[in-house]
Amino acid sequence: MTGDMGDVSLFSGRFRNICAPAAKGLAKGSLWLAGVLFLVMTGDILAGVGSRYIFKAVPVWTEELARYTLVWMVMIAANPALYFSDHMAIDLDIFPGRTARGIALVRGVLFVGILGFMTWQGSLYATKMVPFKTMGLGISKAIPLAAVPAGLGLVLVQYLLMLGAGRGRRS
Amino acid sequence: MTLGMVILFFLLMICGMPLFAALLVTALAGFAWIGDLSLLRIMVQQFFGGMDLFSLMAIPFFIFAGTLMDQAGMTERLLHMARALVGHLRGGVGYVNVVGSIIFAGINGSAAADTSALGTVLIPAMERDGYDRSYAAGLTAGSSLIGPIIPPSIFMILYAALTRTSVGGLFLAGVVPGLILGLAFMAMNYFHARSCGISVAGGAFSFSGLATAVGRGMSALVAPFIIIGGIVFGVMTPTESGAVAAAYVAVAGVLWTRELTLAGFWSAVFRTVRLTSSIFLIMGAAAVIGWLMAWEQVPQEFAARVMPFVGNKILVLALLSLVTFFVGMFMEEVATLVLLTPVFLPIAKAAQIDPLVFGIVMILNITIALITPPMGACVYIAAAVGNVPLTAMFRRIWPFVACAMGVVMLMIIFPGLILLIPRAFGF
């Protein structure tokens, strides 16, 4: 039930040789970064619990830090999830050759379109929120909001790299 | 507009587009239909807001604790415990499958994880004991439904966040329905084992053997006590108890079972972040659709159509169950829950249905969709790990679907069964 979007081969030869390791490198690098963010979030929550029972008080910023770290982790891990075919999708595989290729093309265009749109809108929104501060951490609201354009932008890059690498279906 | 969005969404799904992207494209089409470009920023706002909830943060920790347990060798210990408990009965491995699911349910709360963990070991074992392979895979997929019903449960966390219901109350409300579901599957297995002449494969029951198995499995059994106890007794929030349980499993995996390696730890971390990302992106995208539905007053319109029946609680619950079941057949479970709950909640409230009862019935229906075609993820997993053709799996699965539907009907007619434990704890 997991979907693979990298099923349209556009390029060949040297370009493919560049794109394949780049896609893998981006996925692995992002996965490590998301993993570290997850551990930071875990540490933050545990510190909050410990602080509540030891010092009878929880710093106000712990919840906010955990929430924003989670959003950044989710968005950073979105491109490895695409690379490893973790995103939920239906893989019916019932259409004949030419129809299937047509559907793959439409799907690819829509996927690139929506990722591009969300990246653009996300950047605009984050930029607009630069002057505003968060309640707990006191940082600019643009910092957590930037996770959306950054993460979806990386998904877009990952998808294009996968297309360039001509990666076939993975189950 | 709503009908157009539904059709577009299903077309995108059939085309194989990732669910989160299909939801976002559908939402964009909805905003284009409204025609007010100033509303476009709401897409990002809602997408971010759908993921930025402290109450949802428990989800990655439950996934992490379950994955880590597998890496720490606790899964194998739990299976051994189930075998010591019921392995001596006729058709014993079938019972081990169900009891294993009940025990696993108390730890990871994910049906898909249960199916893959138990199916790998138990489908071949059941075949060796004389079971038909497709039945074994069907029972594995069916009994994995217990996972999201017995606490902890990812679906319950989601429902609680959407409806501001107590997570502790929901967790307790899931215990009786989960156990009844387990008993129903065991009864099915009893009749199947008798009719097919399945032999008694295990040795005689031994208290010392059971005590040894429980002793070995104790390392794993502490985790659900941390999670459920922490929440029910108000010691910790669900997120905190999930984090503490995950930390416990990591420490116990190193010091107690001594099977957790650094590579296993990172493997669990990577699996957790990938799975969490795929779930949270859907929740973010579903939040955008949810905003559009609220803008279009879909919940109010739906409520107006169902209101004539609100005098009869059973009828309302049965109707909502039926809709949830059918939608769940064609849509991913998290999306079904996130999209339908806000639409159905006003009706449930108007009919004076207890939110705990409504939640458990919704979650039961959504869970059953995990084993129905064409989107039944657990059936696909069981077919893959059991090496069973999908056609055979889908033929075999219907008795299990019917059995689970019977349990849903029982809960609808006797909601007191759901409320039995929560009320005893003051929820």
**B342, amino acid identity:** P
Residue of chain A nearest B62, judged by CA positions:
A42
What radius of gyration do chain A's Cα atoms show?
Answer: 20
Test mutation, B40, B248, B273, B280, chain A, max A CBs within 10 A: B273
Q: Give the closest of A38, A49, A68 to B240, CB-based.
A: A49
So what's the pLDDT on residue A65? 94
Test mutation, A2, A45, A95, chain B, max B CBs within 10 A: A45
CA distance linking residue B179 with residue B101, whole number of Å:
10
Kindly determine whether residue A31 and residue B247, on different chains, have CB atoms separated by under 8 Å.
no
CA distance linking residue B169 with residue B420, whole number of Å:
11
| Token reading at B120 | 């790998």
| Token reading at A161 | 């790299």
CA distance linking residue B100 with residue B96, whole number of Å:
6
Across residues B148-165, what is the average pLDDT? 88
Distance (Å) from the alpha carbon of B265 to chain A's nearest alpha carbon: 11
Indicate the pTM of the whole model. 0.83
Q: Give the closest of A107, A124, A148 to B17, CB-based.
A: A107
So what's the pLDDT on residue A170? 39
Average pLDDT, chain A: 87
Tell me A134's DSSP state: -
So what's the pLDDT on residue A157? 96
* pLDDT tens track for A32-81: 999 999 999 999 999 998 888 888 887 888 889 999 999 999 999 999 99
So what's the pLDDT on residue A118? 96
- Cβ burial, residue B195 (10 Å; 0-12/13-18/19+): exposed
Q: How long, in residues, is chain B?
A: 427
* pLDDT tens track for B121-145: 788 878 877 888 899 999 999 988 9
- Angle at the Cα of B19 from the Cα atoms of B371 and B370, rounded to 5 degrees: 10
Residue B377 reports pLDDT greater than 50: yes
The residue among A84, A79, A80 whose CA lies nearest residue A4 is: A84
So what's the pLDDT on residue B232? 78
So what's the pLDDT on residue B109? 63
The residue among A165, A75, A41, A91 whose CA lies nearest residue B274 is: A75
Q: How confident is the model at residue B351 (pLDDT cuts 50, 70, 90)?
A: confident
The residue that leads in pLDDT, B97 or B184, is: B184
Kindly determine whether residue B270 and residue A3, on different chains, have CB atoms separated by under 8 Å.
no
Residue A128 reports pLDDT greater than 60: yes
Tell me B199's DSSP state: -
Q: Among residues 56-115 of chain A, which lie with CB inside 8 Å of chain B?
A: 63, 66-68, 70-71, 73-75, 77-78, 80-82, 84, 86-92, 103-104, 106-107, 110-111, 113-115
Residue of chain A nearest B236, judged by CA positions:
A49
Kindly determine whether residue A148 and residue B61, on different chains, have CB atoms separated by under 8 Å.
no
| Token reading at B28 | 């964009």
Test mutation, B64, B278, B280, B283, chain A, max A CBs within 10 A: B278
B108 in Cβ contact with B62 (< 8 Å) = yes
Helices (H), A84-139: 97-128
Kindly determine whether residue A49 and residue B243, on different chains, have CB atoms separated by under 8 Å.
yes
Average pLDDT, chain B: 86
